[in-house]
Amino acid sequence: MASPDPIDGLLALDPGARGIGKFYRPGAARAAARSLARGKRVVLTTGFAVGPGLAETDGPPGTAVLGRALRLVGKSVTYVVDDVAAPLMEAALKALGEPVEVLVLPDAGAVEGLRRRLARDRPSHLVAVERPGRAADGEYRSARGDSVTAWNGPLDALFLSRPRGARTVGIGDGGNEIGMGNVRRHLLRQGRLAKKIASVVRVDHLVVAGVSNWGAYGVTAHLSVLAKRPLLHTAEEERRIVTACVDAGGVDGITRRREATVDGLPLSAHAAMVELLRALVDRKIRGGPRS
C-alpha cells in the first residue's frame, strides 16, 4: 500500500474546523498539477467578496503564486477577475514581481463577451481559486450563509459552459466555491448551513485545503516536483503578498477586518505552511519519494 503523500497531509489540515476531512480529495493537488503540466494556455480566476468592496485575502495570493509557476514552466497565463477583486490580484502580482496584466469583468453583462473571447483563444485549462460558485438557488453565499451575489460577478458561468477542450480546476476550502459541486452530496449531509451554501458548479479536478491559498500552493509544489525545479515562493514573499493585498483593500474573510491575516490565521502560520511545502519539494527533487 502506497504511503500517504506528505503534501496531502499539509493540505488536509483544518485550522478553521470546517470539517473538510469529509470532502477532502487525496491526490487531487497532484492530479491537477499533472493536468496543468500538459496544458498550454491557462486562465485563472479568483476573488471572493464578502461585502461591498470587501474582497478576501484568501485567493489572490494563491492565484498569483500558481500563475507565476505556470509562466515559469512555459505556459501562457491569463488572469480574469471582477472589479472588486482586481486591486488585490494586481497587488499580489506586483508583490511577486510578475507582469500585472489582468482582465477585469466590469459587470455581469460582460460574461458573454468573455465567453466568446475564450472560445476564440481556446485555453487548455480554467482554474478557480477561492471563487464563489452558485448554490442550487442560483445565489452566491458566504460561509455564514449570507447572499454575496450583489458583490461577485458570475465568473462561474465560464466553468458551467467551458470552452471546447478545456479542463477545469477548482480550489476551495468551504463548500461554496467553484468546483464544490463535485462533493455536493457529502456537503448536504453536514447540516442545513452546508446545504444552503453548497455550490453546484463541478470541475474536472477539485482541490480542497484548509485554506484555499494552501491548495494553490500544494498544486504549485507538485508542479515543482514535475518540473524538477523550485517554483514556490518564500515565506518572506508570502508576507509581502498578503500585506500588499490588505493595502489594496483586502479583508480577512473570517474576521472581515483589514489586517494581514487569512481566514483568521496570522501571517506566521501561512509563512510556516510555505516553508513546510518548500522543504517537502526540496526533498522530493533531491531524490525522496516521487510525487
Residue pair 63/80 in contact by the 8 Å Cβ criterion? no
Cα–Cα distances in angstroms (integers) from residue 46 to residues 128, 140, 161, in the given order: 6, 14, 18
Domain residue limits, the chain: 6-282
Residue 21: its pLDDT value, please?
83
Look at residue 127 in the predicted model and tell me its pLDDT.
Answer: 98
Q: What is the pLDDT of residue 107?
A: 86
**What is the reported pLDDT for 3?**
59
CA distance 18 to 152: 23
Residue-level pLDDT at 1: 39
pLDDT at 147: 97
CATH class of 6-282: alpha beta
Collect the ranges in the chain with pLDDT lower than 70: 1-3, 288-291
For the chain, the residue count is 291
**Quick one: which of 210, 181, 212 has its CA closest to 197?**
181
- Amino acid, res. 7: I
The Cα–Cα gap between 277 and 185 comes to 31
Q: Which residues contact 74 (CB under 8 A, 6 or more apart)?
A: none
Q: Comparing C-alpha atoms, which of 161, 160, 167 is closest to residue 37?
A: 167
